[in-house]
Amino acid sequence: MPKVDSQLDANRLKAQLVDRISSIEGWTYLDEAWALHEAVRCYPGCEALRVVEIGSWKGRSTIALAMGLRSRGSGRVYAIDPHTGSREHIEAYGSVDTFQAFLNNIKTAGVADLVDPIRSTSHEARPRFADDSVNVLFVDGSHEYRDVITDIHDWTPTLLDGSVVAFNDPLMPGVYQALREAVLIAHSPYRNARYISNTLFFRFRTQARWHFGDSVLLHWLRVLLALRYRAQAFVAYMPGWAVRSGRRLYERLLSWHTASLV
């Protein structure tokens, strides 16, 4: 696979990504988009990757994944979304249809040739993919517990050993509950956690043995997520300096956890 030869080249790629997605409406932070780009570009091996995205909205994360493939050389992004909005979107904005905006955005970004749009729910799309066929999975669809737990159960069999899996909004109640029940558990194949802005990344490892140290790190991550999850209820009543200080402390603790897992 092609490699970035210098920090200057990495900065160039990141600047290109920022330029392509900054004007596109969506909730994917720029550092999350860059992490998705790099998860694809830096994926080990030389094969053409199969990347599945659950929840595309208007294409910010889709473009990041596809640009990672472009930098890498080959592969496809399968962008699954009914484009009618989830329940929380409809409650906030009313009825929507984002499909044409999505198509326009990926075309303008120059990545339409790398993207297969699948206008469907993730559960309905699942039979199109064989087991052990997906290299990168980004889950950012409905945040309702039933939908998230269905996504985990549906798509886990499709993952290859060594796949990268990312879950957006891990502190939303439905996502948080599903992760604690089905991902953040002892002897889970979801390993090597990294928390970037609002996305929790894992390396899916079916062959790696589970050690005592894995249990310690898993417990530490569960504690950190639980603290942040519970703290959300009090943020509105806290002074700004306290919120900022708490976030800095939380990020340091997460950085320690991440460094321990790399």
Encode pLDDT of 89-108 as tens digits. 777 777 889 999 999 999 99
Q: Residue 45, by phi and psi: left (phi above 0), alpha (psi -120 to 50) or beta?
A: left
Q: Residue 192, by phi and psi: left (phi above 0), alpha (psi -120 to 50) or beta?
A: left
Return the structure tokens found at 109.
Answer: 């970004």
pLDDT exceeds cutoff 80 at 243 = no
Distance of CA 65 to the CA centre of its chain: 10
Encode pLDDT of 144-177 as tens digits. 999 999 999 999 999 999 999 999 999 999 999 9
Encode pLDDT of 35-81 as tens digits. 999 999 999 987 899 999 999 999 999 999 999 999 998 899 999 99
* Its pTM surpasses 0.75: yes
C-alpha count within 13 angstroms, C-beta hemisphere, residue 250: 22
Strand partners, 167: 139, 200
Can you tell me the distance from the alpha carbon of 254 to that of 251, in angstroms, rounded to the nearest whole number?
5
Return the structure tokens found at 180.
Answer: 């604690």
DSSP helix/strand/coil, 23: coil
Mean pLDDT of the chain: 89
Instruction: Tell me which amino acid residue 97 is.
Output: D
